[in-house]
C-alpha cells in the first residue's frame, strides 16, 4: 500500500506523510515562521515606501517653501529601526545574509548540517537573550514614560514593535536548527 506524500516547503523534497513528532513540529514552525516573516517584511516594505514620501516632502518643503516637516529625522530613525527588525527574519529565511563557508564546504554533508544546526541553535539562544533584554528595555521605557524629542511619541511602542521582529528572527534560527538536524539524521541525504 502506498503512503500519501506531501511536499516540504523549504527543502522541496517529497516526504512520507507519516512523520515523526519532531518533523511535524518543524513543519508547523516553518509555516508559522514563513507567514510571520512574510507579513513583517511586507510591513517593512510599506514603511520604506512611506519613508520615501516623507523624505521627499521634507526636502521639497525645506528647499521650495522654507518649511521642513517637523520630526522627519525622528520618524526616519524610528521607521528604520522597525524596518530593520521586521526584515531580519525574511533575510535569514532566504539566506540573504553573508555566510562564510569555505572550510565547511569541504566537509561531508552530514557534518555540514550538524555544524549548521549547532550554529543555528547557538544563534537561537543568543537571539532569545537579546529579545528578552529588548523586551525588558521596552518595559523600562514604558515605566519611565520616555518620549521622543521633537514629536513626543511614546518610545515603548516602537521598541515593543521591534520585539515582534526580534521574536520572528529568533524563530528562524530555531527553524534552521531543526531543519539542519533533520537533514543530518536523514539516511537519504549524503
Nine cell digits for residue 50: 512611506
Return d(Cα 107, Cα 84) in angstroms, integer.
34
The 10 Å CB-count burial string (b at 16+, else e) for 166-190 is bbbbbbbbbbbbbbbbbbbebeeee
CB neighbour list of residue 31: distance below 8 Å, 6 or more residues apart: 9
Structure confidence at residue 187 (pLDDT): 59
pTM, rounded to two decimals: 0.84
Nine cell digits for residue 61: 518643503
**Positions in the chain short of pLDDT 50:** 1-12, 14, 189-190
Structure confidence at residue 43 (pLDDT): 97
Angle at CA of residue 104, ends 99 and 105, nearest 5°: 85
Return d(Cα 18, Cα 6) in angstroms, integer.
10
Structure confidence at residue 188 (pLDDT): 56
User: Angle at which helices 21-64 and 72-93 pack, to 10 degrees?
Assistant: 150
User: Angle at which helices 155-185 and 72-93 pack, to 10 degrees?
Assistant: 10
Amino acid at each position: 500500500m502506498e503512503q500519501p506524500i506531501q511536499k516540504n516547503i523549504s527543502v522541496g523534497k517529497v516526504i512520507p506523510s507519516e512523520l515523526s513528532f519532531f518533523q511535524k513540529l518543524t513543519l508547523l514552525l516553518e509555516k508559522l515562521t514563513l507567514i510571520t516573516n512574510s507579513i513583517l517584511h511586507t510591513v517593512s516594505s510599506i514603511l520604506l515606501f512611506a519613508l520615501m514620501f516623507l523624505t521627499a516632502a521634507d526636502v521639497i518643503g525645506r528647499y521650495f517653501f522654507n518649511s521642513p516637516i517637523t520630526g522627519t529625522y525622528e520618524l526616519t530613525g524610528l521607521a528604520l529601526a522597525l524596518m530593520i527588525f521586521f526584515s531580519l527574519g525574511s533575510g535569514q529565511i532566504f539566506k540573504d545574509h553573508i555566510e562564510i563557508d569555505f572550510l565547511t564546504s569541504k566537509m561531508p554533508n552530514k557534518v555540514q548540517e550538524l555544524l549548521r544546526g549547532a550554529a543555528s541553535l547557538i544563534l537561537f539562544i543568543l537571539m532569545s537573550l537579546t529579545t528578552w533584554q529588548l523586551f525588558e528595555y521596552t518595559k523600562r521605557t514604558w515605566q519611565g514614560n520616555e518620549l521622543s524629542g521633537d514629536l513626543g511619541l511614546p518610545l515603548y511602542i516602537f521598541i515593543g514593535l521591534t520585539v515582534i521582529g526580534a521574536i520572528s528572527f529568533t524563530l528562524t534560527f530555531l527553524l534552521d536548527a531543526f531543519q539542519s538536524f533533520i537533514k543530518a539524521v536523514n539516511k537519504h541525504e549524503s
